[in-house]
Structure 1
Amino acid sequence: MTQKTAAPLSGMIYRLEDRPPNGPAILAAIQHILASIVGIVTPALIIGGVLGLGEHIPYLVAMSLFVSGVATFIQCRRFGPVGSGLLSVQGTSFAFVGAILAAGFAVKGRGGTPEDILTMIFGLCLVGCLVEIGLSQFVGRLRRIITPTVTGIVITIIGLSLVKVGFTDFAGGATAGEALGEPVNLLLGFIVVAAILVLTFQPNPTVRISAIMAGLVIGFVVAALLGKVDFSSAGSGPLIALPIPFRYGIDFDLALFLPIAFIYLITAIETTGDLTANSIIAGEPVRGDLYMSRIKGGILADGVNSGLAAIFNTFPNTTFSQNNGVIQMTGVASRHVGMIIAVILIVLGFFPVIGNAFLLVPKPVLGGATLVLFGTIAVAGIRILASETIDRRKAYIMAVSFGVGLGVTLVPDATQHLPDFIRQVFATPITLSGLSAIILSLVIPEGDDAVAEPSTAESPVQPA
């Protein structure tokens, strides 16, 4: 089979197998870390904060960094069939946050302790990784079921369902009580959002990449000046954190597992897109045996690395699309830079002081950043949906899927009389929207009506 190689984008200095000198390699690695570190640690901060995991959060953050380093090394180095062999940074996946929070709240509702919550989450994620490992061998068939319409719907629902979490922190946090919505909290949140927006639209690429981290720093400084930072916990906890496999043990619940299994399916498709974009930017084949081998290896590595994440007490990993932008910006596509990134992340993972530092960040400051991040997740889903013509068939698939997903979010008691297993499955907007989209995509035929541009009043989507 012939290989179709994409022409590398202009400005590419070091190709995939090139070995840059130490100076440029380290500078490129640092820029990748700046682009990804917030994404790596934020899911642990959100999950830990919302579920009240308290003293466990610094360790969860440290393990997020450690496992991301190991996962990046596997993805870039490639071991046999595992890994893509591309400069692809792995980090904690935002896509799982909603499903993990749903599982955590279910355990908490039964009277579970923070340790019980983590035991369940890591058990679910460990079993779930087998889904992605299996799917890695059926990429072609998978893409026929998980279409851009299905993927766009699920990603949009993930973002929209998380906005409540971000805005709650924006207003002061779930434990703020009567202080929720105080003007000073809203002010801090708006300052962070404004800082991120201003920095995002600067011409300097480095400034744009670090916009979220810089926004957090600016918000933290303002909060400290206003006396809203509690420094009493600074310096507390151990200096070194050693990775301990199965520190919390594992547990399993089938009803709680289904939403997480579904997200593993979606992330397999996302990884395909990330690695394809990576190949295009680096000027590597985007068709043929080598390309498919890299895609299968990348998805397989996603599954294996997510299994390692569960074993070492953190949350599922996936490829980070923002690092494709760093490759384009720096002109460095060398996978050897990925190994430097991996080593730096692994070293950072031994120091829980990083997690402690993030714990000092007031909820409104963190909420300002997460509100933007969650909003961009929803926008990413909308962009996927908008990338194709929205004909009448797709419009109704979207209408029903969004309707039931948002409906169960806004009226959670609607499922209270269903059997427990069904209620727990249907109470998760991600699963409900995703299953609705898949079933409707398979059931509604692609007839002449579906292919044509909608132009009548009976369609909910009118042409521009």
Structure 2
Amino acid sequence: MNTDASARQSSVRYEADERPPLLLTIGLGLQIALLTVGGVVLTVAIVSRAGGASESFLTWGVFAAAAISGTTTVIQAIRVGRIGAGYVLMMGTSGSFIAVCIGALAQGGPALMATLIIISSLFQFLLSARLSLLRRILTPAVSGTVIMLISVTVMPIAFNMLNRVPEGMPSTSAAVTALATVLVTLGIALKAKSSLRLWAPVIGVAAGSIVGGYFGLYDAGRVAAASWLGLPEGSWPGIDISFGPAFWALLPAFMFVTLVGAVETIGDSVAIQRVSWRRPRAVDYRAVQGAVAADGLGNLLSGLMGTVPNTTYSSSIAVTELTGVASRMVGVVVGLAFVLVAFIPKFLAVVLAIPDPVAGGFLIVLLAMLFVIGMKLVLQDGIDYRKGLVVGVGFWIGVGFQNDAIFPALVSDFAGGLLRNGMTAGGLTAILMTIFLEITSPRRHRMESDFDLAALPKIRAFLEGFARRQGWDKGTADRLMAASEEMLLALIPQDGEHSQPRRLLLVAHREGESAVLELVAATGEGNLQDRIELLGDERAVETPEELEISLRLLRHYASSVHHQQYHDTDIVTLQVDVRPPPPQ
């Protein structure tokens, strides 16, 4: 990777750990909240009305969803312990849960839905804690496919919103209003100075709303009628702990949707890291674990409060790339704004009064950017024909199911229409294909030892045996050993800070004419991938001479180095090209 070129091309104005001016932070946070809170409310309304719930449940559900979304958005931004990503990841009600929540409401009411959400949230905490075990299944290719399918799933809704106008309004009013929104947003995003580009979303929506107001599309009456302060008139729906037949029938569907939501969150938390720093960094999977844990916390709170589950909003990534502001403080402002919305009906009315053609036009711009971000995620580690098949088949299966083009009569009633959601169907396809590839991949050779330099003789014997079984010569075995030795020297703490004995797992397998070595250990050290990229960079943190020598040798021996850091576990993967033996 050419990091210098990447840095020069970066459009990041404020990185995740930087603090923009207070006025800019508040202004950007409020505009993001204004543009997304409508989706939080809409999902609750759809579930409530389709499931036959009462008006009091809808009132309570909207209040609880806004408050929980705000709380978890703040947690995602600031990270509390191991919960939260530490990035701007907006949280809101999840569209993936619409079908199963409607089924739960219809079969057992709000109390049954709440119980199912609580149980499935525990599964998400388990996924977060054991995410490293799923690293070969929930890959960037799978996550990128799911992110691309989010655009496919939501784009039809955006297109439909373009034409929604009250009866009696001229048909041209929707087109002119939507066009004004898109043109102003794109014009500022493409050609304005970086300082003005920060305001592209709110200026575009404001321009569209002004044009819509000229045609009478902006519902000013709703804003005037709303009170300034207020609490919901509904009440807590309770929890059903009878665990009857309806609970057991719906639990598998809730668990599966939770898995799909976790894959979406993984993709979002990887993608937000790509757009939050001027210089590209290796993905920090501890932040990914934190994002999934915060997602689980949001779902747990949603179940306890009796409202629809939440998830990360992928629009966070598109807005961050559009504005160039990735500061965590923006996420804090967005979260606080969501909480305020729960207690200020007037604020909520201002958002809900925005004409649908305006919201639809702006959503089209965001979804287009999100699709490209998903594409970049798929391509970040390169792509071969196997990855290409996984991504291509998964994507088009998702498109087909989303548009009822694949056996609609057979899948329409399956699990409450679960597979009619393109993100779910395509994501499941990509996951199953990845599992198949993993099961049928060449046998992996493993060895365990203590994580210290005394393990080097055992590692040498292991790698010599591995090279011999592959038909490689002694020179190749020496090259593998040299790469492994430098990797071990780079990972072992320089100050001996670990007094407890630790274990090392070394896994080796063949991929074509390359050897792939995977070291699994708990190190607590910095990311080797980042350190290698920054060798020779004057802006890099000073590296001890012995460590720098090891890093330079490692870069020489290995064609690629990937370092995945999880809580309590580090996984370093080396690819070493095998030199063909000399002709006899």
* Corresponding position of 1:36: 32
Match of residue 90 from structure 2: 91
Instruction: In structure 1, give the amino acid aligned to 2:199.
Output: S
TM-score, length-scaled by structure 1: 0.72
CA displacement 1:269-325 (0-9 Å, x = unmatched): 235425755885699x969xxx66555444323321343345454651438446866
Offset of 1:91 from its aligned partner?
2.0
**Which residue of structure 2 lines up, in the alignment, with residue 403 of structure 1?**
396
Q: Name the counterpart of 2:184.
A: 195
Aligned to 1:157: 149
User: Taking structure 1 as reference, are residues 119 and 53 closer, same or farther at Cα in structure 2, changes over 3 Å only?
Assistant: farther
- 1:295/1:256 CA distance change after superposition, 3 Å: closer
Q: Do 1:100 and 1:260's aligned partners in 2 also have CA atoms closer than 8 Å? A: yes
Matched, 1:352 2:345: yes
Number of corresponding residues? 421
Query: Conserved in 2, the CA contact under 8 Å of 1:41 and 1:65?
Result: yes
Q: Structure 1 residue aligned with 2:310, among 303, 316, 321?
A: 316
After superposition, where does 1:302-313 map in structure 2 within 5 Å? 302-312=295-305, 313=307
Given that residues 65 and 348 in structure 1 are in contact (C-alpha distance below 8 angstroms), is that contact kept between their aligned partners in structure 2?
yes
With over 3 angstroms needed to count, the CA separation of the structure-2 counterparts of 1:292 and 1:263, relative to structure 1, is closer
- d(CA) in 2 for partners of 1:373, 1:121: 31
- Asked if 2 retains the 8 angstrom alpha-carbon contact of 1:159 and 1:374, the reply is yes
Among 249, 260, 263, the alignment partner of 1:266 is 263
**CA displacement 1:394-414 (0-9 Å, x = unmatched):** 222233223322222222682
Q: Which one-letter code corresponds to 2:151 in the other structure?
A: G
* Counterpart-to-counterpart distance in 2, 1:431 and 1:296: 21
Higher strand share: 2
| Cα-to-partner distance string for 1:79-126 (whole Å, 9 max, x where unaligned) | 444345x4x3442258x32x2444467679x6x9xx96x778766554
**Which residue does 1:210 correspond to in 2?**
199
2:139 corresponding residue in structure 1: 147
Q: Do the aligned partners of 1:69 and 1:345 also contact (CA within 8 Å) in 2?
A: yes
Q: Secondary structure at the match of 2:344?
A: coil
Which runs of 5 or more residues in structure 1 are unaligned?
1-6, 453-464
CA distance in 2, matches of 1:215, 1:192: 5
TM-aligned CA distance change 1:349 to 1:207, over 3 Å? farther
Deviates more, 1:294-303 or 1:359-368: 294-303
What is the 5 A alignment of 1:383-394? 383-394=376-387
Q: Which amino acid aligns with 2:83?
A: V
Change (3 A) 1:60 1:43: farther
The residue that corresponds to 2:366 in the other structure is: 373
* Alpha-carbon distance in structure 2 between the residues aligned to 1:13 and 1:234: 34
* Aligned-partner Cα distance in 2 for 1:257–1:249: 19
SS of 1:144's equivalent in the other structure is coil
CA deviations on 1:339-396 (whole Å, 9 max, x unpaired) are 6665555445421212111222222222212222333333322232233433222222
Going from structure 1 to structure 2, the CA distance change for 1:105 and 1:216 (only over 3 Å counts) comes to: farther
SS in 2 for 1:201: helix
1:234 aligns with 2:227: no
- Relative to structure 2, which stretch is displaced further, 394-403 or 421-430? 421-430
What is the rounded CA distance, in whole Å, between the counterparts of 2:392 and 2:39 in structure 1? Answer: 29
Give the root-mean-square deviation of aligned CA atoms: 4.6
**Partner Cα distance (2:233, 2:219) in 1:** 30
Query: What is residue 459 of structure 1 aligned with on the other side?
Result: none
Relative to the length of structure 2, the TM-score reads 0.59
What whole-Å deviation, never above 9, does each CA across 1:56-94 have from its counterpart, x for those lacking one?
88876665553344224434555444345x4x3442258
- Give 3-state SS (helix, strand or coil) of 2:312's partner: strand
Is 1:184 matched with 2:183? Answer: no
Instruction: Tell me the CA shift for residue 182 of structure 1.
Output: 2.4
Q: Distance in 2 between matches of 1:371 and 1:275?
A: 19
- Higher RCO, Cα 8 Å, sep 6+: 1
1:390 partner SS = coil
Tell whether the 8 Å contact from 1:302 to 1:317 is kept in structure 2 after alignment.
yes
The SS at the match of 2:90 is strand
For 1:298 and 1:292, locate their aligned partners in 2 and report how far apart those are by CA, in whole Å. 9
Compare 236-245 and 135-144 and name the one that shifted more. 236-245
Shift of the 386–250 alpha-carbon distance from structure 1 to 2, 3 Å rule, reads farther
% identical aligned pairs: 21
Q: Which of 130, 133, 137 pairs up with 2:125?
A: 133
Q: Distance in 1 between matches of 2:64 and 2:124?
A: 21
Aligned to 2:561: none
In structure 2, what residue type is equivalent to 1:318? T
Whole-angstrom distance in 2 between the partners of 1:364 and 1:419:
29
* Alpha-carbon distance between aligned partners in 2 of 1:407 and 1:356, rounded to the nearest angstrom: 37
Shift of the 400–351 alpha-carbon distance from structure 1 to 2, 3 Å rule, reads: same
Aligned residue number for residue 71 of structure 1: 72
Tell me how far 1:440 sits from its aligned partner: 1.0
> Structure 2 vs 1, CA of residues 155 and 75 (structure 1 numbering), >3 Å: closer, same or farther?
closer
User: Do the aligned partners of residues 276 and 231 (structure 1) sit closer, same or farther apart at CA in structure 2, a change above 3 Å counting?
Assistant: closer
CA deviations 1:189-225 (Å, max 9, x no partner) are 2221112111212433343233222222111111111
Q: Distance in 1 between matches of 2:337 and 2:430?
A: 41
CA contact (8 A) 1:302 1:318 kept: yes
Instruction: Measure the CA separation in 2 of the matches of 1:53 and 1:215.
Output: 32
Which residue of the other structure, out of 419, 436, 439, is the alignment partner of 2:429? 436
Task: Give the distance between the partners of 1:13 and 1:430, measured in 2 at CA.
Answer: 32
* Contact map agreement 2:12 2:276 (CA 8 A) in 1: no
Counterpart residue number, 1:462: none
- How far is the alpha carbon of 1:427 from its aligned partner? 2.8
